[in-house]
Amino acid sequence: MTILIRKALVKDIHSPFHNKVCDLLIQYGRIEQISDTIEAQADQIIEQENLIVSPGWVDIFTSGTDPGFEFKDRLRNTAASAAKGGFTHVFLTPNSKPVVQNKTAVQYIINHEHPHPVEFHPIGAITKNTEGKELAEMFEMKDAGAIAFSDGNKPVQSSGLIIKAMQYVKAFDGVIIQVPDDQSVSAGGQMNEGIVSTQIGLPGKPGIAEEIIVSRDIELSAYTNSHVHFTGVTTSKSIQLIEQAKQKGLKITCSTTPHHLYFCDKDVDGYDTNLKFNPPLRTKDERKALIDAVQSGKIDIITSHHTAQNTDLKVCEFEYAGYGAIGLESAYGVLGSLGLDTDQILSTICFNPRKIFKLSDTINIGESADITLFDPTQAYEFSVTDIKSSCNNSPFIGKKLTGKIIGTILKTKTNQN
């Protein structure tokens, strides 16, 4: 199949065509030609105003539901959600059933066939059954293709165990991903601990539960000289600690989510279960601090924390509701609606995750096609029809978003919205 992309602004800091308006000719999954003007026959021509192309986007923390929780979402649905949202690479947490903790489970994800231009990267479990008691076979999973290691939504609580994991992955320059949450401090919490939680009568999760783990794991990273990535960072103190660690030359990186940038704890006072997250939504001031940290480059990555939850786990009392929301389809539009510019957004969803997790590919002649096409100017109202997941647990339905995905290309697979 031959694809001709006309008059697209190339955004790729590693490409000689960066910030140039070009035609791109793609044949059989490879970029064959890039020029000011290309006259060639093509099976598909993509041309429209305000078109930008970049390397395919990367989401580093999507909840794995297949195998074991297919009633929430299947891999083909997750892939469709990713393609709709402009992502060509998706990291899946190990919290499926069975847990991704061995070679077979890793290969099941990598080899899963689906029609969408999306590549899945399994995150291997740090501990067996993500129970936090005994290390899993990380080297075996690394050899099989695991991209990183985490216990996903069940962060490792034991200092002794996480230090062993850090020492283990150092042998192959691996990355540990932690959701920072000291569960002995945050136990029973339903939302951010503060004025709002007191007013509406919900038990709170204090920010210090996050900051304790951030501080602890920074110290352990310094001791082991291993790379730790904190995902779901929500407080200004956490950002300060991480920035200080970076200035010391430690291997520390971090990410936050679109929903933590868009909402705050005040939005929860309507008991919308789609706003129940772990880590929870923080105060308005903390939300602003997160946006400032993205704009200044202190936050490396923005990731969706896409979590499909079936209706029974969302249409219920807040205290019984499941955590999380879907977010792959809406992520880019949310970031655009916050006033972040294209370069800032691409740093967090494209260039930084590719660098940190060693994903190659650039927009250049002879390279494999791994491309996201988008228009940052289009405004629209996010609706159920934009959702490709089996579940509709999104807090962004009905919200005005800015920035539309035109399509994605990954080798010989394409998607056009």
**What are the residue ranges spanned by the domains of the chain?**
2-52+366-376+400-416, 56-356
Output the tens digit of pLDDT for each of the chain's 417 residues.
899 999 999 999 999 999 999 999 999 999 999 999 999 999 999 999 999 999 999 999 999 999 999 999 999 999 999 999 999 999 999 999 999 999 999 999 999 999 999 999 999 999 999 999 999 999 999 999 999 999 999 999 999 999 999 999 999 999 999 999 999 998 999 999 999 999 999 999 999 999 999 999 999 999 999 999 999 999 999 999 999 999 999 999 999 999 999 999 999 999 999 999 999 999 999 999 999 999 999 999 999 999 999 999 999 999 999 999 999 999 999 999 999 999 999 999 999 999 999 998 899 999 999 999 999 999 999 999 999 999 999 999 999 999 999 999 999 999 998
H-only helix segments in 98-180:
103-110, 138-144, 159-170
3-state helix, strand, coil in the chain (%, to 5): 35, 25, 40
Per-residue pLDDT of 356-366, as tens digits, reads 999 988 999 99
Helix (H) or strand (E) holding 334: helix 331-337
Answer for the pair 4, 42: CB distance below 8 angstroms, yes or no.
yes
Amino acid at 327: G
Distance CA 114, CA 129 (A): 27
Answer for the pair 53, 367: CB distance below 8 angstroms, yes or no.
no
Distance CA 43, CA 339 (A): 36
How many Cβ atoms sit within 10 Å of the Cβ of residue 288? 13
Distance CA 112, CA 179 (A): 27
Distance CA 148, CA 159 (A): 19
Indicate the class that CATH gives domain 2-52+366-376+400-416.
mainly beta
Per-residue pLDDT of 145-188, as tens digits, reads 999 999 999 999 999 999 999 999 999 999 999 999 999 998 99
> Going by C-beta distance under 8 Å and a sequence separation of 6 or more, which residues neighbour residue 309?
72, 321, 322, 323, 324, 325, 391, 393
The predicted structure's pLDDT at residue 213: 98
Q: Say yes or no: do domains 2-52+366-376+400-416 and 56-356 share a fold.
A: no
H-only helix segments in 53-118:
75-85, 103-110
Distance CA 182, CA 251 (A): 21
With CA atoms as reference, report the closest residue to 417 among 116, 65, 84.
84
Indicate the class that CATH gives domain 56-356.
alpha beta
pTM of the shown model: 0.97
The predicted structure's pLDDT at residue 139: 95
**Pairing outcome for strands 2-10 and 21-27:** antiparallel
> What are the angstrom distances between the C-alpha of 223 and each of 166, 247, 251?
9, 16, 11
Answer for the pair 66, 74: CB distance below 8 angstroms, yes or no.
yes
Answer for the pair 382, 399: CB distance below 8 angstroms, yes or no.
yes
With CA atoms as reference, report the closest residue to 132 among 179, 170, 173, 171.
179
